Structure 1
């Protein structure tokens, strides 16, 4: 299988992390979004939405949206429960990641890290801080109760949220304010097959 992505993107990195944790063989194809490489005719055939990551299976079928890819690859493993309520809790956190977490933390990081915090984006950057801290507080509350987001074991919910949370400082979010999140980050980084962002 082939995975198209940018390793510095949290959405792409979480796929790379999952493949390492599960020992999934794949070909990683680096895509530069700043050079519009997601807008080529060839790429748009794989994902008309012009976004990474994209998983291309051996038979040519493609799957986009990072959490859909995570759950597909983790299907049948300990990282994705087949118990309906537990599965729904994992999805609950993944929807939270996409709608309440990423729009603030990932965007603030993008403006600062990828764009260099230009003057014309500073107001946009600052506007993301409140929402980002709100998302981190929700995570902190849960992680004070359970070691992982969906309970007592690592799941794709954690991998989904870990992608951007562990580099939230690059978007201006001080994680020292969130001791339970810091413990959770340490737990994930202690996984035997853990790999960091390259």
Structure 2
């Protein structure tokens, strides 16, 4: 019986996340209430609060679920025993692009992040929450880049914090622009090309290198 209860609780949680995805996509995050999510999910508000403290936690769960297909690549890019961290990072970027076009749920989640997540005065907590999520993403990218440097795949003088943010901006900007005009090209068909472009930028741009340390000045 306990196993069945646990399974039912997981099913309810999944229903809530599914409902939140549809509500956020239709009305935007700031205009969606937990009561609306509960109604769409066919559960009580009490069921919502059993699983999630607030709307930010619901959004977290939605984003985490969307990341599941790339988690193994993300983790591999940072693993000390991974012989090809840069290759894993490139594969992750390509997978992100393919998934954004081919998986309807992932496409909705990206629409929510880029076009339906309004940072109004009433949603200042959400804005800070998203700031922290993006900081975590940049920190993970920095770790992956340092791993690639250690394996000799990237220049040792790379300015890692700036390079990580350039890569993040490339991926986010590409997704944002494509979501606005998907008729321009197939993101899935160009995924490998775009991912290779991002990695080549990291490998070859001297502008992403840290300036050499100034020589020590001998005392007169």
TM-score by length of 2: 0.28
Instruction: Name the structure with the higher strand share.
Output: 1
Q: Specify the structure having the higher radius of gyration (Cα).
A: 2
TM-score by length of 1: 0.30
